[in-house]
Amino acid sequence: MRERKGLIIAESLGLLLTFALTLAFWEYRRDPLSSLPPPEHGLKAERAVISVQDHRHVEHITLHGNTLGDINLSLSLPDPLPPQKLPIVFVLGGLVTGENSVCYLKDAGNNAIVGYSWPLPTRIHGFGALLQAPNLYHRAMTVPGQVSSALFWLVHQPWADTEHISLLGFSQGALAVPVVQDLAAQDGTRINWTIIAYGGAPLGAVLAGSPKLKPAWLGEALAPLVNLDFHSLEPTVHLPRLSGKFLVLEGQHDQRIPEAARHFLQKAVPEPKTIITLEGSHMGVTPEKMALLQEIIGICKTWLIENGAINLGPDGAG
Instruction: Tell which residue, 114, 83, 264, has the closest CA to residue 189.
Output: 114
* Rg, C-alpha atoms of the chain: 20
Bridge partners for 74 per DSSP = 60, 115
The pLDDT of residue 103 is 79
Alpha-carbon distance of 220 to 261, in angstroms, equals: 14
Domain boundaries along the sequence of the chain = 41-306
Q: Is the backbone peptide bond immediately before 38 cis, with ω within 30 degrees of 0?
A: no
Q: Name, in order, each residue with C-beta under 8 angstroms of 124's C-beta and a sequence gap of 6 or more.
A: 132, 136, 212, 213
DSSP 96-137: S-HHHHHHT-----SSEEEEEE-SS-S--BTTHHHHHHHHHH
Q: pTM to 2 decimals?
A: 0.86
The pLDDT of residue 11 is 59
Side-chain half-sphere CA neighbours of 124 within 13 A: 21
The pLDDT of residue 12 is 61
User: Which amino acid appears at position 95 of this protein?
Assistant: L
The pLDDT of residue 99 is 76
Q: Name, in order, each residue with C-beta under 8 angstroms of 107's C-beta and a sequence gap of 6 or more.
A: 313, 315, 317, 318
pLDDT by 10-residue block (mean), the chain, 318 residues: 56 60 58 93 96 92 97 96 97 77 83 93 57 76 98 98 97 96 98 97 86 71 81 96 98 92 97 97 89 95 97 60
Bridge partners for 76 per DSSP = 58, 113
The pLDDT of residue 315 is 44
Question: Domain spanning 41-306 has what CATH number?
Answer: 3.40.50.1820
